[in-house]
Copies of this chain bind each other. A is one copy, B any other.
């Protein structure tokens, strides 16, 4: 597992706060181990798919925060992330896209403030 993705994974698992170590284990082994490590698509494409899926299902603010950071970590630009959200407008409508842009703004600002 690449150290950038590993960080994204750790952030999610830390949010579990030790309540269920098994869920954290499944995320590490299945989501980041089995799935992210596959061929055919690179990390940029995988993160683009992930943030699209999170945006589309809604009620995923904490996960979008992790994976917008993850998207930047694997090399997607801020413009590409926002453009990914814009591409979703005809398929999901404006509200979910606006919610995702709001979270992206917070993530971008937090990185600028560091």
Binding site for B on A (CB under 8 A): 12, 15-17, 19-20, 22-23, 26-27, 30-31, 34-35, 38, 40-41, 45-46, 48-50, 52-60, 62-63, 79-80, 82-99, 101-102, 104-105, 108
Does A57 contact B56, Cβ atoms closer than 8 Å? yes
A57-B52 Cα distance, complex, nearest whole Å? 11
Residues of chain B with a CB closer than 8 A to A31's CB: 90, 94
Oligomeric state, in number of copies?
A: 6
6 nearest A-B residue pairs (beta carbon): A31-B90, A58-B59, A56-B56, A40-B83, A52-B52, A59-B59
Known: A56-B53, A56-B57, A79-B40. Is A35-B89 also a contact (CB below 8 A)?
Answer: yes
